[in-house]
Structure 1
Amino acid sequence: MNLNNRRKFFKKVIAGLVSFSIVPKIASEATALKMKRRAEVPYFTNGFKIAEVDTNTTMLWTRLCSQAEPNPVRHERIEKVFRHPINFDENQEVSKMDGAVAGTEGMVRATVKDKRGRTVYTSSWKKATPANDFTSQIPIKDLKSGHAYQIILEAKKTDSGEVNIEQGSFSTAPGKKDKVPVLLTTSTCQYFWSFDDKTRGFHTYDSMAKLNPDFFVHTGDYIYYDKPGPLAKNFEKARHKWHAMNGWPSLRDFFKKVPIYMIKDDHDVLKDDAYLGKGPYGDLTFQDGVKIWYENVPIEDKPYRTVRWGKDLQFWMVEGREYRSPNDMEDGSEKSIWGKEQIDWFTKSVDESDATFKLLFTATPIVGPDRERKKDNHSNSNFQNEGDWLRGYLSSQENMFVVNGDRHWQYVSKDAETGLVEFGSGPVSDYHVQGWDEGDVRPEHQYLNLIGGFLSIKVDRESGEPKIRFNHRDVFGKVVNEQSFIG
């Protein structure tokens, strides 16, 4: 090899060595930069909710998170009702628990666009802080009735930080004179460990999404503080229950395009049969539970409210925990689940309504039948005085029906004395079914089925006549019972 060739050879070797040492360095720096940017971006790991939709308003909710995905489910479950986790360490750090999602400080804003892509509203940047568990609620007003809208949520950690974006869609309620069809779904009672899809969470939410409902009503027990994995006996564990539930992909995807209305029940605020004055549950008080509820449920005013959806439907959602009397109080005219203020509001608004069909959504039964040992609802003997009055009042209203949560089985019941009809949607999953014997069919029952799933309700017009159709469905959306009524 001559001198020139040797020089060329060594130059190539040296260049290769230099290149080899530089490339990994550049790659590692790029990876580090990418990871740094990811760490600086808030995530929508708990999704967002479009809530309380009316003719021209809605409320948005979200929580800013520091991790892109919830902690994976690591524990196996016992093979009986509620599927409690096996060997779950209740004293471990919450950040290490199955389904945990860490929050992060930051700011979020919402932009609303109409179906033509024109911006009709942009909020200011709202701060997400530890005081409210990094949640943010954004009221949106001055929308048009019966219009479709797109939601764009932006989140960042600092004023100059990188922005993360999430999108969704919804439609406002039509005006009270508009004769338009409406389809809604409703379900109840979901415990994180009663999931029936280890990846998605709950089949019911994916099945409801396929129907493209106009809205969804959850009638209580969205989470369970008093069931293990963990038992929510303090603020941190109670908040974790919401993080884990909202982290399921089936819920996150559903709420991107279906507005929600939520009603609280006992397990959402403290423990079984909770009321003000009962408790605490470990270190968690009833007041703590109510605060955490309003962190996660965007309601601007009272927890009882009514919504008009076109000419043919109006529905009421009532509050059964904040105003109730103690369960062990002697029954009589002073003992109440709703309280006087709510009763006065309810009867006045119902009397004023000219909607063809009226639906009362309640967390607990009014007709039943219920188990003899239960003592916390209007179908039980220890609230019989108010229950008798309520069944009589509701049955006097033309085309009014009750839709309730709390019961862990599907049913339709007709009160023997008043004729009031009540629809129990059943729990979200089959793994949550319990509390009633399959062969125990009572005279009130028009339908009884020990399965999970949901109830779909459709209001439309056939040959000019208004009609309401109630369909019980299993977790995969198959219709298992149907009842319809002409207005």
Structure 2
Amino acid sequence: MKILGSLSLVLFLLLPNAHSETEQHAYQATGLKIGEVTPDSAIVWTRLTKRPERNPSDGPQVEIKYVGNKNDKARRKGTVEAVVFPSGTSVGDLRESVPGVGGDTRVRYRPQGQLEWISSPWDAVNSERDYSRQILLKGLQPRTKYELQVEGRGSGQTEPTSQLSGSFRTAPSPEESARVVFTVSTGQGDNDQDRPDGFQIYPSMLRLKPDFFVHTGDILYYDRLAKTLPLARYHWQRMFSWPTNLDFHRQVPSYFEKDDHDTWVDDCWPTMKSNYMHEFTFAQGQAVFLEQVPMGARTYRTFRWGSDLQIWLVEGRDFRSSNNAPDSPRKTIWGEQQKKWFKRTFQESDATFRVLISPTPLVGPDRSKKNDNHANAGFQTEGQELRDFLGSQENAIVVCGDRHWQYMSVDPKTDVREYCCGPASDKHAGGWSQDDYVEDYHRFLRVKGGFLSVTVQRIKSKPTLIAKFHDVDGTVHHTDTRVAK
């Protein structure tokens, strides 16, 4: 296994004046993220940090105490009694923490091979958004590879003290037939990494040279430790300072969706009450997500990648009814406004393949005791409405996350195809038996970690979609090929 080097060597260029003791320097130990790429625009997420590397993994950790000293199984219904830090420490001192610092960032970018850089203005990071800043790049050329340099400097400084390099390719224009490759993942637990420097799926995905990446949610898991707003941000700091994650996200643009665990807590909805999450609220979770990933204000959107591919990314937490409510025509996960938007834009699209990428399943099958997604009895009415709609559309595909196993299924009533990408590591896999192959639904089942890759291209002039299920090392375990009707 090749282990990526230290962050200061791999990702940072510390400029000559970076070690003056009289100045507060700014580093970029949580890297950069590139998002929402279109044929002519992209958003670059930047953040300034106090130190060039994350805190060591053997440092102090916070302890959560519960009323009545409840055991792990009972805690989700319990009440937090206290959040206890080791003596003399705070969030910034915890293991793998990456505290932020004030200062300015700018992005320099250019089409690959050109000499002159285009530069955004210097502007301050926002201390109320975890010292982050998002920069919109406009006026880009379609299907063009761009080089990036994100520069940072401390407050009051005039010269950069850190520089981070990256690259991305813009989407082809809607009229252009182009080969497009993207990868998809879900379920990324910080304690479930499978190599000393992070997660094996990231270098494996890089070898495919994807045009973009979609994270379907559960990017991290707040439940156990994120009992305050600073502790919630701590989860993002440690997840995106793993060297594998840093190296991937500086080279591949992403589209992010959120699910329950990276919004607030397991199976959550907006009006849900939970003493288990202590001071950290659902609304805070919504806001933190928008500050930590490069995206606009709306979490449901659609993107076109050439003449043969359009993707839809949907929101499954902000508008949903209570999971506990009885199923009915009014019970919803998406909300009426999003549902109308989806049906209208999906029908209006002339892309050959239309791919709905959902944080949670629409087809399944899922565990009988689950009651949180469209494949469950609790949302049967809306689930059937969406499956009926998708089944009436040509060349419509569903990709989903959330479930901790990989599968391909076909709904026996509507013939809707669903690919579930599986979790980010084998340690995170589970929740289904490998022996429980449901003949009416399953075409492929693998209770392990890995990722999904999707390639859309023309083979002998025919638009073709090829979906592949990979293990964490990139080995393909199943391939499904769809030739456009």
**Could you say whether these structures have the same fold, taking a TM-score greater than 0.5 normalized by the shorter chain as the test?**
yes
SS at match of 1:225: coil
2:471 equivalent to 1:474: yes
| CA apart distance, 1:300 | 1.6
SS at match of 1:346: helix
User: What is the alpha-carbon distance in structure 1 between the residues aligned to residue 104 and residue 325 of structure 2?
Assistant: 47
Alignment-mate amino acid for residue 360 of structure 1: L
Corresponding residue number in structure 2 for 1:41: 25
| CA apart distance, 1:125 | 1.3
| CA apart distance, 1:119 | 4.2
Corresponding residue number in structure 2 for 1:20: none
Corresponding residue number in structure 2 for 1:329: 325
| CA apart distance, 1:211 | 1.0
Corresponding residue number in structure 1 for 2:227: 233
Match of 1:55 among 34, 39, 45: 39
SS at match of 1:268: coil
Alignment-mate amino acid for residue 253 of structure 2: P
SS at match of 2:198: coil
Alignment-mate amino acid for residue 170 of structure 2: T
SS at match of 2:383: helix
Corresponding residue number in structure 2 for 1:265: 259
User: What is the alpha-carbon distance in structure 2 between the residues aligned to residue 248 and residue 52 of structure 1?
Assistant: 22
User: What is the alpha-carbon distance in structure 2 between the residues aligned to residue 468 and residue 120 of structure 1?
Assistant: 37
Aligned length, in residue pairs: 439
2:113 equivalent to 1:116: yes
* Structure 2 portions without partners, runs of 5+: 1-16, 61-82
Corresponding residue number in structure 2 for 1:64: 48
SS at match of 2:121: coil
| CA apart distance, 1:441 | 0.8
Judged with a 3 Å threshold, the aligned counterparts in structure 2 of structure 1 residues 486 and 127 are, in CA distance, closer, same or farther, namely same
Match of 2:193 among 195, 201, 211: 195
Q: Verify the 8 A CA contact 2:18 2:25 in the aligned structure 1.
A: no
Corresponding residue number in structure 2 for 1:242: 236
- Higher Cα radius of gyration: 1
2:294 equivalent to 1:298: yes
User: What is the alpha-carbon distance in structure 2 between the residues aligned to residue 38 and residue 262 of structure 1?
Assistant: 40
| CA apart distance, 1:403 | 0.4
User: What is the alpha-carbon distance in structure 2 between the residues aligned to residue 318 and residue 171 of structure 1?
Assistant: 23
Corresponding residue number in structure 1 for 2:427: 431
More deviation in 37-46 or 316-325?
37-46
| CA apart distance, 1:483 | 0.7
Q: Verify the 8 A CA contact 1:279 1:285 in the aligned structure 2.
A: no
Matches within 5 A, 1:180-191: 180-191=178-189
Q: Verify the 8 A CA contact 1:65 1:101 in the aligned structure 2.
A: yes
After superposition, what is the alpha-carbon deviation per residue over 1:201-254, rounded to whole angstroms, capped at 9, x for unaligned? 000011101111000000000010013xxx111111110000000000001101
User: What is the alpha-carbon distance in structure 1 between the residues aligned to residue 110 and residue 18 of structure 2?
Assistant: 31
Corresponding residue number in structure 2 for 1:348: 344
Corresponding residue number in structure 2 for 1:153: 150
After superposition, what is the alpha-carbon deviation per residue over 1:78-130, rounded to whole angstroms, capped at 9, x for unaligned? xxxxxxxxxxx963332232211111101001112112325464211121132
User: What is the alpha-carbon distance in structure 2 between the residues aligned to residue 115 and residue 34 of structure 1?
Assistant: 28
User: What is the alpha-carbon distance in structure 2 between the residues aligned to residue 450 and residue 277 of structure 1?
Assistant: 33
SS at match of 1:266: coil
After superposition, what is the alpha-carbon deviation per residue over 1:34-59, rounded to whole angstroms, capped at 9, x for unaligned? 74359733111101001000111110
2:199 equivalent to 1:215: no
Q: Verify the 8 A CA contact 2:212 2:252 in the aligned structure 1.
A: yes
Match of 2:271 among 264, 270, 277: 277
More deviation in 158-167 or 45-54?
158-167
SS at match of 1:211: coil
User: What is the alpha-carbon distance in structure 2 between the residues aligned to residue 203 and residue 134 of structure 1?
Assistant: 29
* Structure 1 portions without partners, runs of 5+: 1-32, 77-88
User: What is the alpha-carbon distance in structure 1 between the residues aligned to residue 84 and residue 278 of structure 2?
Assistant: 13
Alignment-mate amino acid for residue 408 of structure 1: H
Alignment-mate amino acid for residue 67 of structure 1: R
SS at match of 2:204: helix
Alignment-mate amino acid for residue 363 of structure 2: V
> Scaled by the length of structure 2, what TM-score is found?
0.88
Judged with a 3 Å threshold, the aligned counterparts in structure 2 of structure 1 residues 163 and 220 are, in CA distance, closer, same or farther, namely same
User: What is the alpha-carbon distance in structure 2 between the residues aligned to residue 37 and residue 206 of structure 1?
Assistant: 37
SS at match of 1:402: strand
Judged with a 3 Å threshold, the aligned counterparts in structure 2 of structure 1 residues 153 and 162 are, in CA distance, closer, same or farther, namely closer
Corresponding residue number in structure 2 for 1:422: 418
Corresponding residue number in structure 2 for 1:390: 386
User: What is the alpha-carbon distance in structure 2 between the residues aligned to residue 415 and residue 134 of structure 1?
Assistant: 46
Q: Verify the 8 A CA contact 1:214 1:259 in the aligned structure 2.
A: yes
Judged with a 3 Å threshold, the aligned counterparts in structure 2 of structure 1 residues 300 and 314 are, in CA distance, closer, same or farther, namely same
Q: Once superposed, what is the RMSD of the aligned Cα atoms?
A: 1.7
Matches within 5 A, 1:72-91: 72-74=56-58, 91=85
Matches within 5 A, 1:141-180: 141-157=138-154, 158-180=156-178
Judged with a 3 Å threshold, the aligned counterparts in structure 2 of structure 1 residues 37 and 258 are, in CA distance, closer, same or farther, namely farther
Q: Verify the 8 A CA contact 1:39 1:66 in the aligned structure 2.
A: no
Judged with a 3 Å threshold, the aligned counterparts in structure 2 of structure 1 residues 59 and 272 are, in CA distance, closer, same or farther, namely same
Q: Verify the 8 A CA contact 2:27 2:161 in the aligned structure 1.
A: no
| CA apart distance, 1:69 | 1.1
User: What is the alpha-carbon distance in structure 1 between the residues aligned to residue 462 and residue 160 of structure 2?
Assistant: 54
SS at match of 1:267: coil
Judged with a 3 Å threshold, the aligned counterparts in structure 2 of structure 1 residues 419 and 37 are, in CA distance, closer, same or farther, namely farther
User: What is the alpha-carbon distance in structure 2 between the residues aligned to residue 407 and residue 289 of structure 1?
Assistant: 21
> Scaled by the length of structure 1, what TM-score is found?
0.87
| CA apart distance, 1:162 | 4.2
